[in-house]
């Protein structure tokens, strides 16, 4: 090999190593096979018990993983409580009085620390709990990619700015997904997570009473659905009253979210926007495919969850394995 082509090869290898380090973490589904072989089973059983006590819990656990990954990557930072060194993401407005399920993660961590001390990260527990939640609610299963390590910092500002807001128009939603390496298909597919769970009246009151400053309801809302929502969320009433994100099957992970969008029955503005941008738009077309083909939705959802789980994962000797998911380890 000439010295010139040798230099080119070095540059190429360096570029590829950097590129793949930055965009695709070195995760795999067998990471704990020898060090903590029962971890997936333990997570599934604990989520199942939590679901039997509270049918909403799978939704809350799925959302925890999403809110973890969009802020500092999937590093368990969302689980950190306030301390002298941590300004907790839990107190940021998109999370405050909204995120749920922390106690379930604590139970998993306690059991896993007892069986395999110092081995399983809190970030991986969140990824496993999200998969268990979706499959226990009736959705797809997938081989969760593992080997993430836990971050030692939280990002309160990132929790305010990186997370999509229900008031965001479609271009902003796309930009927030693109900023973490997720594309438009991931956006329309992962929004299907809203086939389970609840949202507070505060997330929709503008749609009901003052859409875009018009003092009118959002014209994209079906009239009878609007009447139902207005009855549950009266103008000036309690903003913390909850609504089903999927009005038909609120605790079942199915494709009815997309059928609802086609009927102008998406709860959040950010949901209905996916369908209202134009009938030939790729969002509307993809949502239409999912509305008529649940298998297509399930297959895409599993792939997009793996994409989301790759965001900024710490591996190797980066970060740490926290002993308590709420605290960084003592130095
Ligand atoms: C596309 C942008 C998104 C926006 C604007 C958005 C916004 C919201 C809002 C406002 C709520 C209700 C919060 C409350 O009222 O307390 C919510 C709930 C929820 N979100 Fe999203 N979300 C988005 C994407 C996602 C993604 C990607 C996932 C998961 C993959 C997800 C999963 C959930 C779940 C399961 C709930 C219900 C949680 C529960 O009942 O505890 N969301 N979302």
Helix, strand or coil, per DSSP, at residue 314? strand
pLDDT at 274: 85
Torsion over CA: 34, 40, 45, 49 (sign): positive
- Cα 68 to middle of ligand 1, angstroms: 12
**Whole-angstrom Cα distance, residue 279 to residue 291?**
14
Query: What is the share, in percent, of the chain residues with pLDDT greater than 70?
Result: 91
pLDDT at 18: 34
- For residues 48-71, average pLDDT: 98
- What residues contact residue 41 under an 8 Å CB cut-off, 6+ apart? none
Residue 264 has pLDDT above 60, yes or no: yes
Q: Of 21, 121, 122, 116, nearest to 79 (Cα)?
A: 122
Contact of 310 with 24, CB cutoff 8 Å: yes
- Cα 106 to middle of ligand 1, angstroms: 22
- Cα 13 to middle of ligand 1, angstroms: 40
Contact of 123 with 285, CB cutoff 8 Å: no
Q: Of 306, 291, 71, nearest to 192 (Cα)?
A: 291
Going from the N-terminus, what domains does the chain have, and what CATH number goes with each? 39-163 (1.10.520.10), 170-307 (1.10.420.10)
**pLDDT tens-digit series, residues 89-100:** 999 999 999 999
Nearest protein Cα to ligand 1, atom 35:
59
**Whole-angstrom Cα distance, residue 93 to residue 155?**
13
CA atoms within 13 A on the CB side of 198: 17
**Whole-angstrom Cα distance, residue 49 to residue 29?**
24
Nearest protein Cα to ligand 1, atom 2:
164
- Render 165-216 in DSSP notation, one character per residue: -TT--HHHHHHHHHTTT--HHHHHHHGGGGGS-EEEGGGTHHHHH-GGGSSS
Least confidently predicted of 8-22, 196-210, 299-313: 8-22
Q: Count CB atoms within 10 A of the CB of residue 178.
A: 13
Identify whether 19 is a catalytic site residue: no
Contact of 117 with 48, CB cutoff 8 Å: no
Q: Of 291, 197, 173, nearest to 250 (Cα)?
A: 197
pLDDT at 283: 87
164 is an annotated ligand-binding site residue: yes
- For residues 149-178, average pLDDT: 96
**pLDDT tens-digit series, residues 104-127:** 999 999 999 999 999 999 999 999
Give the Å distances, CA to CA, from 279 to 68, 170, 284.
33, 15, 6
Residue 3 has pLDDT above 90, yes or no: no
251 is an annotated ligand-binding site residue: no
Within 6 Å (CB) of ligand 1, which residues are found? 56, 59-60, 62-63, 66, 98, 100, 164-166, 168, 173, 187, 190-191, 193-194, 196-200, 203, 245, 268, 270
pLDDT at 21: 29
**pLDDT tens-digit series, residues 175-214:** 999 999 999 999 999 999 999 999 999 999 999 999 999 9
pLDDT at 278: 62
pLDDT at 280: 62
Nearest protein Cα to ligand 1, atom 37:
197
- Render 263-299 in DSSP notation, one character per residue: TT--SSHHHHHHHHS-TTSHHHHHHHHHHH-HHHHHH
- For residues 260-274, average pLDDT: 94
77 is an annotated ligand-binding site residue: yes
184 is an annotated ligand-binding site residue: no
pLDDT at 22: 34
- Cα 174 to middle of ligand 1, angstroms: 15
Contact of 78 with 72, CB cutoff 8 Å: no
71 is an annotated ligand-binding site residue: yes
- Cα 163 to middle of ligand 1, angstroms: 10
**Whole-angstrom Cα distance, residue 86 to residue 211?**
37
Q: Count CB atoms within 10 A of the CB of residue 309.
A: 27
Atom of ligand 1 nearest to the CA of 165: 5
Written as six digits, the tokens of 258 are 């997309």
pLDDT, averaged across the chain: 92
Confidence band, pLDDT 50/70/90 cuts, at residue 277? low
Atom of ligand 1 nearest to the CA of 58: 35
Atom of ligand 1 nearest to the CA of 60: 41
């Amino acid at each position: 090999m000439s010295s010139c082509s040798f230099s080119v090869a070095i540059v190429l290898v360096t570029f590829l190593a950097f590129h793949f380090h930055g965009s695709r973490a070195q995760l795999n589904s067998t990471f704990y096979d020898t060090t903590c072989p029962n971890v997936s089973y333990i997570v599934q059983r604990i989520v199942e018990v939590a679901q039997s006590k509270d049918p909403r819990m799978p939704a809350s656990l799925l959302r925890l993983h999403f809110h973890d990954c969009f802020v500092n990557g999937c590093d368990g930072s969302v689980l950190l409580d306030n301390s002298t060194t941590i300004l907790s993401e839990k107190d940021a407005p998109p999370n405050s009085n909204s995120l749920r399920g922390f106690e379930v993660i604590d139970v998993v961590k306690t059991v896993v620390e007892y069986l395999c001390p110092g081995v399983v990260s809190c970030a991986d527990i969140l990824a496993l709990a999200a998969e268990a939640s979706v499959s226990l609610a009736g959705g797809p299963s997938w081989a969760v990619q593992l080997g993430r390590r836990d971050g030692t910092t939280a990002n309160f500002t990132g929790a305010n700015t990186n997370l999509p807001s229900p008031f965001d128009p479609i271009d902003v939603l796309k930009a927030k997904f693109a900023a973490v390496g997720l594309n438009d298909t991931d956006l329309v597919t992962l929004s299907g997570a809203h086939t389970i769970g609840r949202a507070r009246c505060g997330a929709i009151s503008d749609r009901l009473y003052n859409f875009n400053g018009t003092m009118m309801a959002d014209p994209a809302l079906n009239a009878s659905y609007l009447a139902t929502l207005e009855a549950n969320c009266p103008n000036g009433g309690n903003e913390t009253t909850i609504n089903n994100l999927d009005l038909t099957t609120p605790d079942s992970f199915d494709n009815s979210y997309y059928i609802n969008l086609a009927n102008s029955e998406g709860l959040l503005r950010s949901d209905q926007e996916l369908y209202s941008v134009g009938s030939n738009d790729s969002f509307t077309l993809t949502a239409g495919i999912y509305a008529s083909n649940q298998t297509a939705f399930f297959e895409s959802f599993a792939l997009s969850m793996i994409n989301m789980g790759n965001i900024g994962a710490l591996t190797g000797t980066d970060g740490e394995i926290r002993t308590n998911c709420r605290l960084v380890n003592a130095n």
